[in-house]
Structure 1
């Protein structure tokens, strides 16, 4: 397929449930668990356990309706505000938050968290804590100066972005432009946690292929530093999954703070 025909996530949208089934479920066919669940969850637990990343408001600006990264974050922030680019993502997330029939099952991610933390007895508390921490789910328009117009968000103590910058950006300039918009939502001294794929050019949902921006660790570091961030931690996890659904070469986890 000609890459120029690939769809764009924030423009065309896709079936968020099918995307999560492909890449985040607990089925036998889901081969990405080590890369997109175990690796970032281990990194997040370690990062939050250090006690430096905390505050009142956490903004989650991520791809689809994933919540696995919030199991650690919810312990360190009073309120979580989730920004989504499409109505389907909002509906899917609210279905889980409201415990409606047919919501995506995240039990395997919660179990990973408590097992890694050595707190298996707290498994039932994990979902309750995340649900109660998610105070607002807000639709955003990435092209507007104020992405949440007419709502004006308070400056965040921390932003987490999972697998979003690389799928909304068509090139280097786009990536930096969106990163700058995210940065404006963050307090000086606030933390930015970035989880994304490296060396990726496409991902598949159903029978459709979607564009992803191919970049490496060096570009990612320089983009953050150029926008006034100091990188506190950077971990790289080389791909273990065998699948042609997506072509990333590695996963990157970065914690940085805004000067």
Structure 2
């Protein structure tokens, strides 16, 4: 899966590196595709790591990575080149020793991580996953609200995705993607009590049959108030 969309990840990599450098606290939640490079870079300052994934195959990918049964990804190789191979290896080993909790996100539930009770997070990272699990604009707003409910007031939220994406092909399978623009993202975040600090967009300049989109975006935001979540 990751190799098919790795160039999209690379395109947003420097933006992520810039903003996540400010993240710190006790509890970190990552809800993304199977990619783990963001964990390798920025979880040293956190003791409690929660990895959320929306599919069984993504969970298996993370478990293989934890057990060292999976080779370093393209994105991980970039991380190693950026921070230095020895520092990257130290970061990865430190992360594995923290024994992150891997949790299934069930889109059909009002409480998508039930029965697991996650600690309120100091930082939440969400990369590309909303593009795939949100079938309608209402789903998108609902998912943002559910994610925001896991975050403490005054804490950081980092969101990365594709604007006006029409299709993604993963492992030869064409997947339905919800096309949306930056205005919809801003409205959903505001309704969920999230204030945008920075909103960066990078125009697509890659011609590919695998994925078609207008921009990759990265948002650095902060939660300013609690909003009642949708009940089950």
Fold in common (TM above 0.5): yes
2:218 maps to: 253
Aligned length: 224
1:197 maps to: 162
User: After superposition, where does 1:174-189 map in structure 2 within 5 Å?
Assistant: 174-189=139-154
Alpha-carbon distance in structure 2 between the residues aligned to 1:124 and 1:72:
10
CA shift digits 1:88-119 (9 cap, x unpaired): 2211211111112xx1422x4334235435x4
Report the CA distance between 1:70 and its aligned residue. Answer: 1.6
1:20 maps to: 2
**In structure 2, do the counterparts of structure 1 residues 233 and 250 end up closer, same or farther at CA, with 3 Å as the change threshold?**
same
With 176-185 and 121-130 compared, the bigger mean Cα shift is at 121-130
**In structure 2, do the counterparts of structure 1 residues 48 and 203 end up closer, same or farther at CA, with 3 Å as the change threshold?**
closer
2:79 maps to: 113
1:16 maps to: none
Q: Are the equivalent residues in 2 in contact too, given 1:81–1:134 (CA < 8 A)?
A: no
Q: Are the equivalent residues in 1 in contact too, given 2:107–2:133 (CA < 8 A)?
A: no
With 76-85 and 249-258 compared, the bigger mean Cα shift is at 76-85
Alignment pair present for 1:90 and 2:72: no
Gaps of 5+ in 1: 1-18, 25-31
Gaps of 5+ in 2: 225-232
Task: Report runs of 4+ in structure 1 exceeding 3 Å deviation.
Answer: 114-117
1:152 maps to: 117
Q: Are the equivalent residues in 2 in contact too, given 1:201–1:212 (CA < 8 A)?
A: yes
- Residue number among 46, 54, 58 corresponding to 1:77 in the alignment: 46
1:36 maps to: 9
Alignment pair present for 1:58 and 2:28: yes
CA shift digits 1:25-56 (9 cap, x unpaired): xxxxxxx2xx312x43312222133x3x2111
1:8 maps to: none
SS in 2 for 1:55: coil
